[in-house]
C-alpha cells in the first residue's frame, strides 16, 4: 500500500515531471520530423553530443549562454549532417541515424578525454546549469506549489514547446507545408514546393529541440556530463512520438506515460521487484497500446470498405 501513497505524493509527481522533460523535448523534435516524413533515428546521439557540448560551452565561455549556444549548435550541426546524407545523398535513414548514434558514443568520450583527461565524466569541470525556477504565488499553494513550482527552466521550456510546436505545425505556412510534404510529397511538389528543403528545415528544428533535451541531462538533471548518459532516452522519445501519433499533445501524453514507469521503477526496487522488470513496463504498455490501436484502425478501414 505504501507504493500507492508514494505515487500520490507530491515528491513522486515532481520527480515524474522531471524525468519526463528530456523525453518530451526529443519527442517534440521527432514530431516535427515525422510530420515532414523523416524518421530521425539519430535522436539518441544528437542528445548525447549536445549534452557534452553544452557543458563544454558553458565551461569555456564561462556562462550559461555560451553553454546553451554550444549545445544547440552542436545538435543542429549533427542534424544537418544527418539531413545532408539522408536527403541530398539519399542514404538510408536507418543507416544515417545509426551512424549518428555510434559516432556520438565515440566522439563524446574522445572529446571528453581531450578536455578533462578522463573518460567517465566531466566532474572536474565546473559546468553551469540551467536554474530552477520558483513560480511566485503558485509556489505558496500547498501540494500544487510543490509539484508545479521549482522545476528546471528547461522543463518549463519543454511545456511551452508543446504549445509552440502545435502553433508551428498547425497554424503557420511552414507547418502546413511540412505536413503536406510528409504525407504526399508529389502533391507538394506539384504546387512548386521544394520537398528536400522543407524536410531539411524540419530536421534542423528537430535537432534544436533534441539538443535542449540533451542539455537538460547534463545541465539540469545533473550538472556534469557522464558518458552514455542518455541511456536510451532518444529511442524512448521516438517511441513516444509514434505512440502519440506524431502530434505535440500526443507526444506530451506518451512522454508522461514513459516517464511514469521510469519513475516507478525507482520505487519498486525498494520492494525487491527487479528493476529490470519494471523498466520493461513502459515498452509493454506501448506494445499493448499500439496493438489495440492497430486493431481499431483495421476495423475502421473494413467498415469504410463495406460502405
CB of 250 to another protein, least distance (A): 14
CB of 263 to another protein, least distance (A): 34
Q: Give the footprint of another protein on this chain (CB under 8 A).
A: 167, 171-173, 176-177, 179-180, 183-184, 186-193, 305
CB of 154 to another protein, least distance (A): 24
How far apart are the C-alpha atoms of 50 and 200, rounded to whole Å? 19
Contact predicate 95/78, CB 8 Å: no
How far apart are the C-alpha atoms of 24 and 22, rounded to whole Å? 5
Q: Choose between 193 and 269: whose C-beta lies nearer to another protein.
A: 193
How far apart are the C-alpha atoms of 203 and 41, rounded to whole Å? 11
Exposure on the CB side of residue 109, measured as CA atoms within 13 A: 10
CB of 251 to another protein, least distance (A): 17
Q: Choose between 77 and 174: whose C-beta lies nearer to another protein.
A: 174
CB of 176 to another protein, least distance (A): 6
CB of 99 to another protein, least distance (A): 24
CB of 204 to another protein, least distance (A): 18
CB of 171 to another protein, least distance (A): 5
Contact predicate 184/82, CB 8 Å: no
Q: How far apart are the first and last CA of the chain?
A: 51
Q: Choose between 183 and 228: whose C-beta lies nearer to another protein.
A: 183
Amino acid at each position: 500500500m505504501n507504493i500507492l501513497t508514494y505515487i500520490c505524493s507530491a515528491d513522486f509527481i515532481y520527480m515524474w515531471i522531471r524525468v519526463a522533460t528530456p523525453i518530451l523535448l526529443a519527442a517534440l523534435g521527432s514530431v516535427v520530423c515525422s510530420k515532414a516524413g523523416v524518421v530521425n533515428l539519430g535522436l539518441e546521439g544528437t542528445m548525447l553530443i549536445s549534452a557534452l557540448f553544452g557543458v563544454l560551452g558553458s565551461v569555456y565561455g564561462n556562462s550559461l549562454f555560451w553553454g546553451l549556444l554550444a549545445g544547440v549548435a552542436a545538435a543542429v550541426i549533427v542534424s544537418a549532417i544527418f539531413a545532408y546524407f539522408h536527403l541530398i545523398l539519399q542514404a538510408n535513414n536507418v543507416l544515417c541515424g545509426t551512424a549518428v548514434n555510434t559516432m556520438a558514443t565515440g566522439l563524446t568520450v574522445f572529446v571528453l578525454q581531450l578536455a578533462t583527461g578522463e573518460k567517465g565524466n566531466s566532474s572536474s569541470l565546473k559546468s553551469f546549469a540551467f536554474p530552477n525556477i520558483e513560480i511566485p504565488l503558485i509556489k505558496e499553494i500547498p501540494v500544487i506549489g510543490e509539484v508545479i513550482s521549482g522545476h528546471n527552466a528547461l522543463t518549463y521550456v519543454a511545456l511551452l514547446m508543446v504549445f509552440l510546436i502545435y502553433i508551428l505545425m498547425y497554424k503557420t505556412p511552414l507547418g502546413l507545408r511540412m505536413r503536406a510534404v510528409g504525407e504526399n510529397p508529389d502533391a507538394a511538389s506539384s504546387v512548386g514546393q521544394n520537398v528536400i528543403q522543407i524536410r531539411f528545415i524540419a530536421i534542423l528544428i528537430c535537432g534544436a529541440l533534441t539538443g535542449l533535451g540533451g542539455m537538460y541531462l547534463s545541465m539540469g538533471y545533473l550538472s556534469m556530463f557522464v558518458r552514455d548518459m542518455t541511456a536510451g532516452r532518444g529511442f524512448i522519445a521516438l517511441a513516444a512520438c509514434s505512440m502519440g501519433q506524431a502530434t505535440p499533445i500526443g507526444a506530451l501524453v506518451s512522454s508522461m506515460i514513459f516517464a511514469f514507469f521510469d519513475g516507478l521503477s525507482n520505487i519498486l526496487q525498494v520492494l525487491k521487484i527487479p528493476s529490470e522488470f519494471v523498466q520493461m513496463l513502459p515498452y509493454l504498455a506501448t506494445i499493448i497500446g499500439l496493438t489495440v490501436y492497430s486493431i481499431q484502425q483495421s476495423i475502421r478501414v473494413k467498415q469504410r470498405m463495406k460502405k
